[in-house]
Structure 1
């Protein structure tokens, strides 16, 4: 298979943005679009690989770099620095990820320069959990760019997101009527006021062992039904949060296989 991939820079409302784009080189354009919304780790190798997978399925797949500021990363948020934090956390027992005392004790074992870099990047990465409105603005700018982009002009656009990206996929569905469909993988769910403004079908995929997210799933499903919104979902037995990420210990092949098939079927319904 021959893919055409590139980073595209554009300006919208005075701000510069960059997105990773991927499509089959021989596909006639314009093409319907899948926006692939990053995990907390940004547009890392896993997200770019996933974007390529959607391109191989026949779409123009784009992954906005939500951590770029005026089209580039700041020093503490470069891909290399984020990879260092990922490697540090992966070496810890899972409970220590969200235990500040255990995490700080592990950081104290690092050389001074590495320790200070880890602290700065960790803080900047996870601060994005409280910056969803700003990240959403970048997705909306991407939607506007795609309307006039030669490779997607006149075509439908749908989104899929993972973890923080799952929450953003839902927020995009709630805030942008141009979206044709939204997929959420184990992302935080919306309240009734946000649900009321959703205008496209939504599907979701969750792991049985992801208790924090799943605690809100029954209420979300009920509110979607009461509001007359289209929502279907799967909860996979034995699967954890981030079960779809094949670079992490939580990867669950059976859940991922089924979710992938259902995601492609959904996009075939709403985009083609």
Structure 2
């Protein structure tokens, strides 16, 4: 697909660009309103394809939980192996689409790999993630950044104290969640391993606060996010923070999201996910 179209959709999903303006500009790029409407389903996520690990998989235990946040109760989706034991724990952090079927599936993938995995819902202060994309975008714009970060730090605390956690906690986040994973690395001293997929980088001055290790995944075509790589890597080296950094050439922003048909890159996604599991097992085992 035309890179200008993908860049426009990226702008729409990450900046305050109204849907009417997005569709108008999409029509200009595709040549007509009819063509724009034909392209639109190829750009938008399709949660019908979200389930790669069944929510009824008998190898797992899953439940909806609540834990104390900065602004009251935080909702979350918890998944863990069926057999009781002591497992490394991971906070799974969603994109700017809220807690949705795709992220719940990623949470089950981690549980199947031997982790206690918790996906908090950042929109809990508003009652949880709504069904409409427009409502999700509006609510994200109303979040208090510091309080939201604090609620995710409390998710780390929740998992560290969980009866089936080995006490070692990591995180994996995507897009907005990748930025939050970087923030947890900075602001949670208990964060042993943070994995950020195409997430905005923390301020260079804050990098020295990181106590654990970070693993960073970027799509080679993602110019907006990638602009922050050099300063982040320089700060990581200066602070002697253990890190791994991978750029997947030809891959777009959101390349790991298999419900995003025009941006999903199967080869890059599988390679990055394998590296993620290896990194988390090494750092949290």
Q: TM-score, normalised by structure 1?
A: 0.79
How is 1:209-248 mapped onto 2 (pairs within 5 angstroms)? 209-248=221-260
> Larger deviation: 253-262 or 190-199?
190-199
Deviations 1:21-52 (A, max 9, x none): 001212x3232101101100111011000000
Listed as ranges, the matches of 1:139-178 within 5 Å are: 139-152=152-165, 154-178=166-190
With over 3 angstroms needed to count, the CA separation of the structure-2 counterparts of 1:13 and 1:235, relative to structure 1, is closer
| TM-fit CA distance, 1:145 | 2.0
Matching residue of 1:132:
145
1:133 CA displacement: 1.9
User: Gaps (5+ residues) in structure 1?
Assistant: 86-117
Q: Deviations over 1:152-209 (max 9, x none)?
A: 2x42000010001001001001011111110010000012221010111111000000
Mapping 1:1-272, distance limit 5 Å: 1-11=58-68, 15-26=72-83, 28-69=84-125, 72-73=127-128, 77-78=129-130, 80-81=131-132, 85=133, 118=134, 121-128=136-143, 131-152=144-165, 154-248=166-260, 249-272=262-285
- 8 Å Cα contact 1:40/1:126 also seen in 2: no
CA contact (8 A) 2:181 2:194 kept: yes
Calculate the TM-score normalised by the size of structure 2. 0.75
Structure 1 stretch displaced more, 139-148 or 213-222:
139-148
Separation in structure 2 between the aligned mates of residue 147 and residue 200 of structure 1, nearest angstrom: 15
Using the alignment, how far apart are the partners of 2:159 and 2:109 within structure 1? 20
1:218 deviates by: 1.5
The worse-fitting range, judged by mean Cα deviation, of 8-17 and 210-219 is: 8-17
State the alpha-carbon separation in 2 of the partners of residues 51 and 121 from structure 1: 20
Name 1:112's counterpart in structure 2.
Answer: none
Runs of at least 5 residues in structure 2 that lack an aligned partner in the other structure: 1-57
Specify the alignment match of 2:5 in structure 1: none
Q: Give me the CA root mean square deviation.
A: 1.7
Structure 1 Cα separation of the partners of residues 263 and 119 of structure 2: 23
- Decide whether the 8 Å contact of 1:32 with 1:156 is kept in 2: yes
Between stretches 137-146 and 44-53, larger displacement belongs to 137-146
| Secondary structure, counterpart of 1:203 in structure 2 | strand
**Alignment CA distance shift 1:20-1:190 (3 Å):** same
- Evaluate the alpha carbon distance shift between residue 57 and residue 121 of structure 1 in structure 2; reply closer, same or farther with a 3 A threshold: closer
Provide the C-alpha distance between the structure 2 equivalents of 1:222 and 1:11, rounded to a whole number of angstroms: 36
Residue 106 of structure 1: aligned partner:
none
CA distance in 1, matches of 2:253, 2:160: 33
Report the count of equivalent residues: 227
| C-alpha distance in structure 2 between counterparts of 1:146 and 1:235, whole Å | 30
